[in-house]
Amino acid sequence: MAGVKKSPTKKSFFQAVFEHSLEAIAILDCQGQIVEVNPAACQLFAATKKKLVSKSINNFLMSPLNWEQIQGRGQIKIEQPKGTIKTVEYSQVKDLLPDYNLLVFKEIADFNRQATAELKLHHQRVELFAEVTLKIRQSLQLNEILQTAVTEVQRILQADRVLIYQIFANGTGMPIKEAVLPEVEPILGVEFPEEVFPADYRELYTRGRVRAIADVHAQDAGLAECLIEFMDEWMVKAKLVVPILQSFKSQTKTDGEHLWGLLIAHQCQATRQWTEFEQELMQQLADQIGIALSQAELLENLEGVVAERTAKLRQEISERTKAEAALRHSEEQLRLIANGLPVLIAYVDKQQHYRFNNQAYQTWLGLSPPKLYDCHLLQVHGQAEYQQISQHVATVLRGETVTYERDLVLQDGCMHSLSVTYIPHLQDKETVQGFFALTSDISDRKAVERMKDEFISVVSHELRTPLTSIHSSLKILATGKLGSLSNQGERMLKIADEQTERLVHLVNNVLDLQRIQSGKITMNKQACQARELMLEAVQAMKTLAQEQGIQLSVKPSNLVVWADRDYIMQTLTNLVSNAIKFSPKNSTVVLSAEIKSQQQSNSKHRGISYITFAVKDRGQGIPHDRLETIFERFQQVDSSDSRKKGGTGLGLAICRQIVEGHGGQIWAESCLEQGSTFYFTLPELIQLKSDRHD
């Protein structure tokens, strides 16, 4: 029946699919032998159906497959008769028919080539970017970094002009770096008019906008008229602009980014479509510049800090060098002085090791200073000598200055008298670090003193006998038993008597002093009531006091001292007689004795209680600078004192010898025109202490 469509059988349907499929299809038996192929398969294997059928498919593959084991999908390489190799993806349908497998092939070579090309391009870009980044980062100098950036961008993009436009704080800006083709006009250093870069543009760029303009004149570019004019002036046809943002740290606000400038590429000879890659490259390089800017700023700060610190260090070093030179100079001077002085100078540390000795050690003792260094006192001086000095060393190491005298045979083989002073070296005014030892040769002085004493002694002795006879004769004459004298004769006799008495007094004083000083006398110490001593002295001075119109008063005391009665009486009477002599009429001289254990500073007597005697007057007083010297021999505040007051200037020197012979001290305190007080201390008789408290 005409016009009746015959429905296709399943077989013819599949046959058509098989024949016309663009995919290559092959039917294999279970050993991999080709049973049937479609035209596409013939094309793939580049062989006729006849050549393929009944052959193992492995004959056409580069590496044979085990068709019994493979499953599903995979890739194979086919070698065509002409040697062309094709990579093919296959899909296997196992047991489509009993003992037959279906294989569908798809050539994937094209797809792979495209993917590889893209991969390669991507690779190239990554490499390019890495290379440019490296070049930028290779320098720490911002100038170099910026110049490299524009040069590299220009090279890669083949743009006519690439520039870095820096934006200043006031919103204006100018190109500061440029890479430009020789035939294109440079724009470096040209300040852009404000209207071509208004504030809203800056705002957009701050937010990261990228401007890729293929044609500056195109409507869709949307450029302002003035900007187009400006572009024309510089022959710009296309441009690509990316922002350079620099991150900043803020103390008050959160950290952020600010628009430092723009990276701009110009195309002048023709319009240009900027690819995504080009835009991306520009943007990434702008980011790198931003990082470099922050680093450069840090570096600049760091360099500033380093420069400042270096300058300070240099100054410090120069100051230190100067100070060290000055110190060396001063040390050298001190060494010269120390070596030039005719005294032994040493510094000994608290472990009693010599730390310094001057040159005199060599000449006096034959001990070389370098050899003495670090040696112990015992090692240097030997056991016997060390024993003599060790008590003084112990004293100075307690923080007290000590002066003592000793005789020693020096390098010249002669005996010398030496005066040694140890001065403590205190740190923080308390801790003793060591001591300075100063030793001077006082042999000459001692010899002179001895001669002088002997001379005085001889003269005084020689004077005393005739003086005593003269004095006695004058006294007899004064009685009138040998006949009366005229008035004038009596006056002359009186003067002669007074002056002889003075002379006797002087000679006696000189001899007294000399005797006490030479240690020839012994103190006959006993318990003495302080009050009794004072009353006795007052009694002895009563007549003198009455003559001068002075009252004498004794403050009650029940203290007992351990002293030589006669010598203390001599001391007290001398002080009272001075007080009377120098007091105005009708004033009172007061004697007192009190216990003042703290007064005694002498270490030898530390811990012993001392009684302080005081003789206080209301006299003319003593100038402050004479309070010490009046205790020396023949010292008077006023040289006319001896004439007016009849003194010898020896009384206080004798008092000092007596008091020190008792282990006490004597001193004076005074206020001019108000009076003076003379103090001396004597050891208290401890045994009687309890009686005193009863």
Binding flag, residue 619, ligand ADP (CB under 6 A): yes
Told to check if 641 binds ligand ADP by CB under 6 A, we report: yes
- How many angstroms separate the CA atoms of 516 and 500, rounded? 24
Among 648, 657, 665, 681, binds ligand ADP (CB under 6 A): 648
DSSP H or E run through 303 = helix 276-340
Which is closer to ligand ADP, CB of 216 or CB of 622? 622
For 264, phi then psi, to 5°, come to: -125, 135
Count of alpha carbons within 13 angstroms of residue 347, beta-carbon side: 10
Does 548 engage in binding with ligand ADP (CB under 6 A)? no
In the chain, the largest separation of any two C-alpha atoms, in whole Å, equals 218
Spatial separation of the C-alpha atoms in residues 641 and 631, rounded to whole Å = 15
Contact present, 217 and 188 (Cβ < 8 Å): no
Q: Residue 431 phi/psi, 5° resolution? A: -80, 125
| Residue 395 vs 548, nearer CB to ligand ADP | 548
CA angle 511, 631, 497 (to 5 degrees): 45
Q: What is the CA radius of gyration of the chain?
A: 62
Q: Can you tell me the distance from the alpha carbon of 230 to that of 111, in angstroms, rounded to the nearest whole number?
A: 48
622 binds ligand ADP (CB under 6 A): yes
What count of other Cβ atoms lies within 10 Å of the Cβ of residue 559?
21
**Nearest distance, CB of residue 467 and ligand ADP, angstroms:** 18
Give the amino acid at 96: L
Q: Which two tokens stand for residue 77?
A: 């390489």
636 contributes a contact to ligand ADP by CB under 6 A: yes
Question: Is 159 near ligand ADP (CB under 6 A)?
Answer: no
Q: Binding of ligand ADP at residue 363 (CB under 6 A)? A: no
Chain centroid offset of residue 164 CA: 48
Does the footprint of ligand ADP cover residue 101 (CB under 6 A)?
no
CB of 505 to ligand ADP, least distance (A): 9
Q: Which is nearer to ligand ADP, 167 or 650 (CB)?
A: 650
Question: Quick one: which segment of 142-150, 190-198, 367-375, 638-646 binds ligand ADP (CB under 6 A)?
Answer: 638-646
Tokens 């205790």 locate to 631
Applying CB under 6 A, among 676, 681, 682, 684 the residue interacting with ligand ADP is: 676
Of the two residues 433 and 635, which places its CB atom closer to ligand ADP in the complex? 635
Q: Which of 286, 372, 579, 611 binds ligand ADP (CB under 6 A)?
A: 579
Nearer to ligand ADP, 230 or 679 (CB): 679
Q: Which of 630, 659, 652 is nearest to 568 (CA)?
A: 659
Least distance from C-beta 661 to ligand ADP, angstroms?
17
The region of 93-101, 372-380, 646-654, 656-664 touching ligand ADP under the rule CB under 6 A is 646-654
Among residues 145 and 654, whose Cβ is nearest to ligand ADP?
654
Calpha distance 151→161 (Å, rounded):
9
Strand order in the sheet with 431-441: 354-357, 343-349, 431-441, 415-427, 402-409
Question: Smaller CB distance to ligand ADP: residue 223 or 590?
Answer: 590
Quote the DSSP letter at residue 342: S
Using CB under 6 A as the binding rule, whether residue 545 contacts ligand ADP is answered as no
Q: Which among 232-240, 264-272, 512-520, 616-624 is the span making contact with ligand ADP, rule CB under 6 A?
A: 616-624
417 binds ligand ADP (CB under 6 A): no
Kindly tell me which residue out of 242, 534, 652, 658 binds ligand ADP, with binding defined by CB under 6 A: 652
- Rounded (5°) CA angle 548-550-556: 145
Q: Which residues pair with 354 in a beta bridge?
A: 348
Residue 173 or 647 having the CB closest to ligand ADP: 647
Q: Verify binding: residue 630, ligand ADP, rule CB under 6 A.
A: yes
Asked if 501 interacts with ligand ADP (CB under 6 A), we say no
Beta bridge partners of 173: 167
Which structure tokens are listed for 172? Answer: 């204006």
State the amino acid at position 118 in one-letter form: E
Tokens describing residue 355: 């730390």
| Least distance CB 363 / ligand ADP (angstroms) | 42
**Shortest approach of ligand ADP to residue 619 CB, angstroms?**
5
Nearest C-alpha neighbor of 650 from the set 462, 512, 522: 512
Q: Is 647 in the site for ligand ADP (CB under 6 A)?
A: yes
- Indicate the residue among 612 and 676 with the shorter CB distance to ligand ADP: 676
Distances (CA, A) of 626 to 259, 612, 669, 679: 87, 22, 10, 16
Position 537 contacts ligand ADP (CB under 6 A): no
Shortest distance, position 582 Cβ to ligand ADP, whole Å: 3
Per-residue b or e along 102-131, where b marks 16 or more CB atoms closer than 10 Å to that residue's CB: bbbbebeeeeeeeeeeeeeeeeeeeeebee
d(CA 48, CA 33): 15
**Residues 324-350 as b or e (16 or more Cβ within 10 Å = b):** eeeeeeeeeeeeeebeeeebbbbbbbe
- Which is closer to ligand ADP, CB of 434 or CB of 619? 619
Give yes or no for residue 281 binding ligand ADP (CB under 6 A).
Answer: no
CB of 517 to ligand ADP, least distance (A): 15
**507 touching ligand ADP, by CB under 6 A:** no
**Binders of ligand ADP: how many residues, by CB under 6 A?**
23
- CA distances in angstroms from 478 to 471, 543, 646, listed in the order given: 11, 21, 21
Q: At closest approach, how far in Å is the CB of 622 from ligand ADP? A: 5
Burial of 1 (C-beta count, 10 Å sphere; 0-12/13-18/19+) = exposed
* 473 contributes a contact to ligand ADP by CB under 6 A: no
550 touches ligand ADP by CB under 6 A? no
Using CB under 6 A as the binding rule, whether residue 104 contacts ligand ADP is answered as no
Q: What is the DSSP string of 582-638?
A: TSPTT-EEEEEEEE-GGG---GGGTTS-EEEEEEE--SS---GGGTTGGGSTT--SS
Among 233-241, 328-336, 537-545, 635-643, which window interacts with ligand ADP (CB under 6 A)? 635-643
**Residue least distant from ligand ADP (Cβ):** 647
Contact status: 637 vs ligand ADP (CB under 6 A): yes
Tokens of 171: 């919103």
Q: In the complex, what is the shortest distance from the CB of residue 563 to ligand ADP, in angstroms, rounded to a whole number?
A: 20
Applying CB under 6 A, the span of 44-52, 267-275, 442-450, 612-620 interacting with ligand ADP comes to: 612-620
Q: Closer to ligand ADP at the Cβ: 33 or 636? A: 636
Q: How far is the CB of 652 from ligand ADP (least distance, A)?
A: 3
What's the closest the beta carbon of residue 565 comes to ligand ADP, in angstroms?
21
CA distance 375 to 361: 14
Q: Is 578 in the site for ligand ADP (CB under 6 A)?
A: yes
Q: How far apart are the first and last CA of the chain?
A: 171
| Shortest distance in whole angstroms from residue 612 CB to ligand ADP | 17
The least CB distance from residue 475 to ligand ADP, in Å, is 23
Least distance in angstroms from the C-beta of 574 to ligand ADP: 6
CB of 152 closer than 8 Å to CB of 144: no
Residues that bind ligand ADP (CB under 6 A): 574, 578-579, 582, 617, 619-620, 622, 630, 635-638, 641-642, 647-653, 676
